[in-house]
Structure formats: structure tokens, C-alpha cells
Amino acid sequence: MIEKVSGEGIIEENQYLLLRSIEEKGSLKAAAEVLGTSYRKAWGDIKNAEELLGYELTEKQRGGIDGGKSTLTSKAKKLLEAYDALHKKMDTAIEDAYEDFKESIK
């Protein structure tokens, strides 16, 4: 989970996965199904993240022949890129710290 200094969550792993799935599947409903969660919970997770961040994460298109669609906003895409970059840096830092640890106990 990425948090504010106050400890209030900004984006959790499940929200990240949900956004990635929306990006891939093109709808909130399909993304929820892939992740094995209800549409209502998925919708709530997106709304909670939007409230904390202060901007919309998805653009919705209702109904039609093919049903509704959801796409990520440019800010949501930027959020996912930043999340990926942060995790890559954290993984590298952990690997480096582990190597230092192994060296220190030889």
C-alpha cells in the first residue's frame, strides 16, 4: 500500500491490480470478474482511491450494443507508471540491502 504520511492509504495493491485489469479488459465489470471480486466492491475501491487522490481514475461509457466501457484517465495511467517505478526502486533497494547483509555475516 502506498500511504500518505498520516498513514491514510493512497492506493492499495488490489486497487492497482483493478486498474491494470480495467486497462486490459476495458470494463470495470470484466476487471472485477477477472480478480474474483464483486462489481460493487470494485466500484467502491475505485471511488475510495479517487476520493483520496482528488481526481478521477476512470472514464465510463454506459450501455450500448457492446455494454458499458471503462478506460483509464491519463492521471490513472501516470499513477500506474509511478507505482511501477516505485516498486522497481524498492525491489532494487531490498536486493542491495540483502546483499549487504549477506556480506556482513561472512
The pLDDT score that the predictor gives to residue 80 is 96
- Extract the C-alpha cell encoding 50: 479517487
Per-residue pLDDT in tens (0 to 9) along the chain, 106 residues: 555 545 556 788 999 999 999 999 999 999 999 999 999 999 999 999 999 899 999 998 876 666 679 999 999 999 999 999 999 999 999 999 999 999 999 8
Q: Are 19 and 76 in contact (CB under 8 A)?
A: yes
> Whole-angstrom Cα distance, residue 22 to residue 32?
8
| 2 to 51, 78, 97: CA distances (angstroms) | 15, 15, 21
- pTM strictly above 0.85: no
Structural domain boundaries of the chain? 2-104
Correct CATH for 2-104 of 3.10.450.40, 1.20.20.10, 1.10.10.10, 3.40.50.720: 1.10.10.10
Sign of the Cα pseudo-torsion (69, 73, 79, 83, in order): positive
